[in-house]
Amino acid sequence: MTGTMTTAPRIDLTANDLGARLGKRFAALGLGVMQSALPRSTQELVMLRASQINGCGFCTDLHTKEATAAGETATRLHLVAAWRHSTVFTEAERAALALAEEGTRLADAHQGVSDATWREVREHYDDEQTTALVYLVAVINAANRLGVIAHHQGGSYEPGMFDRPQD
């Protein structure tokens, strides 16, 4: 049957020299955002929402589990996909989630990120946090695309897995 997918990843993008070099640089960019003044809980919510939109099972799994390990509540994680119709997110988080959605759905929204969303983001985040948020949306979208193209499946991620030394 055409169009069916197997559960095995198509390629290990870090198994060759080029992939390993690019992967290290990509990870360094993500680490820079992670070490910024943008609250870690906001980072995880944004990455989870973009991953849900993009259908990246591996990234959805990773960010759900990392957020849980960092103390995020099950209620908030379950409601990320319906954040507009939920009472559990702060105004700042709502602005970040709106930016994540609009920055992820560029092809669906010809205007890109709306001026209203941008005003909300700027109301709640300073220049450094806004910079981190913009880079975060770009990085998670790139990571989602890598995961979906390479066919990395969700379900096997363990919190802190990438913090441990690799063999």
Give the pLDDT band (50/70/90) at residue 43.
very high
DSSP string, the chain: -TT---SS-S--TTSSHHHHHHHHHHHHHHHHHHTSSS-HHHHHHHHHHHHHHHT-HHHHHHHHHHHHHTT--HHHHHHGGGGGG-SSS-HHHHHHHHHHHHHH-TTT-TT-S-HHHHHHHHHH--HHHHHHHHHHHHHHHHHHHHHHHHTPPSS---TTGGGSPP-
- The pLDDT of residue 7: 76
Q: What is the pLDDT of residues 82-130, one digit of tens each?
A: 999 999 999 999 999 999 999 999 988 778 899 999 999 999 999 999 9
Q: What percent of the chain has pLDDT over 90?
A: 77
* More reliable by pLDDT, 138 or 7: 138
CA count, 13 A, side-chain hemisphere, 52: 18
How high is the mean pLDDT of the chain? 91
C-alpha 64/C-alpha 142 separation (Å) is 18
Residue 164 has pLDDT above 80, yes or no: no
Residue 76 has pLDDT above 70, yes or no: yes
Give the pLDDT band (50/70/90) at residue 3.
low
Domains of the chain: 40-156 (1.20.1290.10)
- The pLDDT of residue 116: 97
pTM: 0.90
The secondary structure of residue 38, as a DSSP letter, is: S
